[in-house]
């Protein structure tokens, strides 16, 4: 396929053509007369082509003859008008630059140098200065091609070093095409494998970008090619870059080249398969969008791309770590270390300890390299492998960020992953998040003998709101001093316990209800609790006098076991015998055998009693 270029290329101004034709005619006559008068053309002796030839040939040095008679050329009548037309047309600069010659700043000096080169090329290698119109037309055509403006070309092409792909041609939505070199007309310099890692039999791939006719057309085209390389390097792993020159077709088999300024490509290759093309197209589109998110990643991308130009990933370790630090810069919600945040974005989980250890080992390796220490391993892994892993990780973070997977702030996205991962790992239930129910989780003491054993491995952080009692008696009941009136925290009032009367049992025990309680029951129409007291019956002979001076249940409320501390043991209270001399035995009469039978036939041996209290909430 032939590359299209401007079809509106006309011949240079007819005045310039006529001026150059007149000058060549006058130069032919003058140089011919000089040769005829004995000023011959110098020759050089060179070997004939071929191994079997033992003869030599003479090579005319026509260019040396013209250089020696430059004053004769300037003295011709048509030289002045030709120099003026060249200055006015501005063809001297591109003509000299295309031949790799220096370009003077003075327009007249540039015009004189161009006329001298034009005359030399016209009779290069000739033995005489005869005027051949076909040679003159060919020289004028070369001048026309060299004088054409590169902005008149329709396309700019550049070789992609190290690039390979399965399709023979792809076209992206931004207008860039990537094709094999054998499918289009391209200069030999663009398809040569010299200076690249590609073998001569491997096809070369060219990137083609439209070239506009605006003043910034070439610069915009080069910027588009640089964006392509930038996208390819961030999109996936591999080594790819631009060649040193880009080319624009300016005529039939004529090319103008532009220096790309690209750094040499890292050794290696880059392989793109056909299913990846749509995703690459989407990535290119997002990469060219000017968004605040991409502006914040500008420095990180710049450092990453600089690292991709290093010869080895180990040499680029500082660049890629700096890219990660820049992408995750700033303050977040929690004070998480950089290794944890980076690992959360790389692996998508909060508990990938291996990724954190690798990032920490890479930072230690960087410090060793800065200090000039030679190391082959880092973190029980090869230093080269660790550096390559850091490069792939930085690429993954930037690629996902460009595609919008992490949102506007990468640092916040990393910490959200850490927080969410912590909830899912069992620290707090995600169902309770966002409601006051998570404040109701209160730790209770474990009761020995319970079937449910609390986990001793998990670290559970529980928040319990402060009760109103802890702030003094001035705080109104049911109103929390920190959160105000919260229904979940208001305690329900406890109703007093009501005791049902038991007339039969009370009559058998000789218990008479208190008149106050009977009066209260009669008024309310229901049983009410009162001060029920024991009557003192007349003791018989040998009976014990009992005085009920306390309320029923008073002894129960006085838990005599509460006098001991938790974890200690007590002795069972022994009954003193009569006549032992103790104060208690002296003041009391012997017990009634009908009520308190003596355990004469029973042997009690209780050494100690261990009691564990259960604390109520």
Beta carbons of 143 and 137 less than 8 angstroms apart: no
For residue 280, the model assigns a pLDDT of: 94
Q: Find the helix or strand (DSSP H, E) in which 339 lies.
A: helix 338-347
Written as six digits, the tokens of 478 are: 């049911």
- Residue 269 burial by CB count (10 A; 0-12/13-18/19+): exposed, middle or buried? middle
- The partner residues of 243 in beta bridges, in order of sequence, read none
The conformation of residue 607, written as its DSSP 8-state character, comes to -
**Contacts for 41 with CB less than 8 Å, ≥ 6 apart:** 35, 60, 61, 62, 65, 127
Nearest 5 degrees, angle CA 552-CA 558-CA 560?
A: 130
Integer Cα distance of 91 and 114 in angstroms: 9
Per-residue pLDDT of 345-383, as tens digits, reads 998 887 788 999 999 999 999 999 999 888 888 878 899
For residue 577, the model assigns a pLDDT of: 47
Integer Cα distance of 15 and 445 in angstroms: 108
Helix (H, G, I), strand (E, B) or coil at 532: coil
Integer Cα distance of 360 and 342 in angstroms: 10
**Contacts for 5 with CB less than 8 Å, ≥ 6 apart:** 152, 153, 154, 155, 248, 249, 250, 251
For residue 152, the model assigns a pLDDT of: 76
Say if strands 163-165 and 270-272 run parallel, antiparallel, or are unpaired. Answer: parallel
Integer Cα distance of 248 and 392 in angstroms: 35
- Residue 432 burial by CB count (10 A; 0-12/13-18/19+): exposed, middle or buried? middle
Name residues of the chain where pLDDT drops below 50. 2, 4-12, 423-478, 481-483, 486, 488-489, 520-536, 546-561, 563, 574-587, 617
The conformation of residue 38, written as its DSSP 8-state character, comes to T
Domain ranges of the chain: 14-147, 150-281, 289-424
The conformation of residue 480, written as its DSSP 8-state character, comes to B
Written as six digits, the tokens of 175 are: 């207008």
* Dihedral angle sign, alpha carbons of residues 296, 300, 306, 309: negative
Per-residue pLDDT of 240-269, as tens digits, reads 999 999 998 877 777 888 889 888 888 889
For residue 439, the model assigns a pLDDT of: 41
**Cα 481 to Cα 51, 86, 370, 448, 469, distances in angstroms:** 109, 94, 56, 35, 10
For residue 607, the model assigns a pLDDT of: 55
């Amino acid at each position: 396929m032939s590359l299209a270029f401007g079809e509106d290329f006309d011949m240079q101004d007819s005045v310039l053509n006529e001026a150059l034709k007149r000058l060549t005619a006058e130069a032919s006559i003058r140089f011919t007369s000089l040769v005829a008068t004995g000023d011959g053309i110098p020759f050089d002796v060179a070997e004939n082509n071929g191994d079997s030839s033992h003869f030599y040939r003479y090579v005319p040095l026509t260019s040396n003859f013209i250089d020696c008679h430059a004053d004769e050329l300037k003295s011709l009548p048509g030289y002045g008008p030709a120099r003026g037309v060249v200055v006015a047309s501005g063809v001297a600069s591109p003509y000299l630059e295309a031949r790799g010659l220096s370009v003077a700043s003075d327009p007249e000096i540039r015009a004189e140098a161009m006329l001298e080169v034009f005359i030399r090329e016209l009779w290069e290698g000739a033995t005489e200065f005869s005027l051949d119109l076909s040679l003159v037309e060919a020289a004028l055509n070369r001048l026309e091609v060299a004088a054409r403006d590169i902005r008149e070309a329709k396309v700019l092409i550049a070789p992609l070093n190290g690039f390979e792909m399965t399709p023979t041609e792809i076209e992206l939505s931004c207008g860039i095409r990537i094709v094999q070199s054998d499918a289009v007309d391209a200069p030999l310099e663009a398809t040569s494998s010299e200076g690249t890692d590609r073998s001569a039999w491997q096809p070369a791939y060219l990137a083609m970008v439209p070239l506009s006719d605006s003043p910034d057309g070439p610069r915009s085209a080069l910027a588009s090619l640089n964006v392509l390389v930038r996208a390819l390097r961030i999109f996936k792993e591999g080594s790819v870059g631009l060649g040193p020159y880009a080319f624009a077709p300016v005529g039939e088999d004529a090319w103008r080249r532009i220096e790309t300024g690209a750094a040499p490509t890292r050794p290696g290759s880059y392989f793109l398969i056909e299913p990846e093309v749509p995703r690459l197209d989407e990535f290119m589109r997002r990469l060219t969008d000017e968004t605040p998110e991409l502006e914040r990643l500008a420095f990180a991308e710049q450092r990453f791309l600089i690292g991709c130009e290093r010869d080895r990933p180990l040499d680029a370790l500082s660049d890629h770590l700096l890219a990660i630090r820049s992408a995750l810069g700033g303050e977040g919600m929690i004070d998480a270390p950089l290794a944890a945040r980076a690992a959360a974005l790389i692996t998508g989980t909060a508990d990938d300890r291996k990724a954190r250890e690798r990032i920490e080992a890479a930072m230690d390796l960087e410090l060793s390299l800065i200090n000039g220490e030679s190391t082959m391993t880092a973190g029980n892994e090869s230093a080269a492998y660790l550096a390559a892993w850091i490069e792939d990780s930085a690429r993954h973070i930037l690629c996902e960020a460009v595609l919008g997977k992490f949102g506007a702030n990468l640092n916040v996205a990393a910490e959200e992953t850490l927080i969410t991962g912590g909830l899912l790992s069992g620290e707090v239930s995600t169902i309770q998040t966002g409601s006051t129910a998570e404040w109701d989780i209160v730790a209770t003491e474990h009761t020995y003998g319970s079937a449910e054993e609390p986990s001793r491995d998990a670290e559970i952080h529980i928040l319990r709101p402060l009760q109103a009692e802890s702030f003094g008696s001035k705080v109104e009941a049911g109103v929390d001093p920190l959160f105000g009136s919260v229904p979940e925290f208001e305690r329900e009032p406890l109703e007093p316990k009501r005791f049902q009367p038991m007339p039969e049992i009370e009559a058998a025990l000789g218990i008479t209800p208190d008149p106050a309680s009977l009066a209260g029951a009669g008024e309310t129409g229901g049983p009410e609790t009162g001060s029920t007291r024991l009557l003192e019956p007349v003791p018989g002979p040998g009976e014990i006098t009992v005085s009920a001076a306390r309320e029923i249940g008073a002894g129960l409320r006085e838990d005599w076991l509460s006098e001991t501390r938790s974890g200690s043991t007590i002795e069972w209270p022994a009954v003193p015998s009569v006549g032992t001399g103790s104060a208690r035995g002296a003041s009391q009469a012997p017990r009634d055998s009908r009520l308190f039978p003596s355990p004469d036939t029973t042997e009690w041996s209780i050494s100690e009693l261990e009691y564990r209290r259960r604390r109520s909430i």
